[in-house]
Amino acid sequence: MQERLSYPKFHRLQPAIAEGLGLIHEAVATSLDPQLVHLIHYRVSQINGCAFCQHMHAAEARQDGEQQERLDMLADWHDAPGFSTRERLALAWAEALTRIADAPVDDEVYGSVKAEFGDKGMIDLTAEVLIINSWNRIAISNRFMPKLAAQ
């Protein structure tokens, strides 16, 4: 098996990519609730199967006060209690954009998200989904692995 590329090594080899994605996040982060951003990052990472990002974003969410119960139910947010209408719309948008190769964005989802978040909010949500999908692809393709406490 070939050596895995670590997260720190990736940053050393290509800092402009990490900085660029960070700048996009900074541009939109102040307009979105940090708890909502955590849910988006964690859910998209679940869909994409990125263990590294799931581990990191779950830990960050908990550090910022997210309840473990909500993280436990996030994969089934459609039917699970405890998610606000705004969170559900953001998660629907995140899932639609992450799975866009499989189906176009549903008109009902588009209209509902636009009504709730407005034009700028949709752009900001889209940017957050773009960022985490980019990081998931970087992490998965370069075989980033989380460091677990038991290791």
Residue in this structure with the two tokens 């509902």, named with its chain if needed? 112
Per-residue pLDDT of the chain (151 residues), as tens digits, is 566 788 888 889 999 999 999 999 999 988 999 999 999 999 999 999 999 999 999 999 999 999 999 999 999 999 999 999 999 999 999 999 999 999 999 999 999 999 999 999 999 999 999 999 999 999 999 999 998 876 6
CA distance 63 to 66: 7
Can you give the pTM of this predicted structure? 0.94
In what helix (H) or strand (E) does residue 19 lie, and over which residues does it extend? Answer: helix 15-29
- Inter-residue contact 25 to 128 (CB < 8 Å): yes
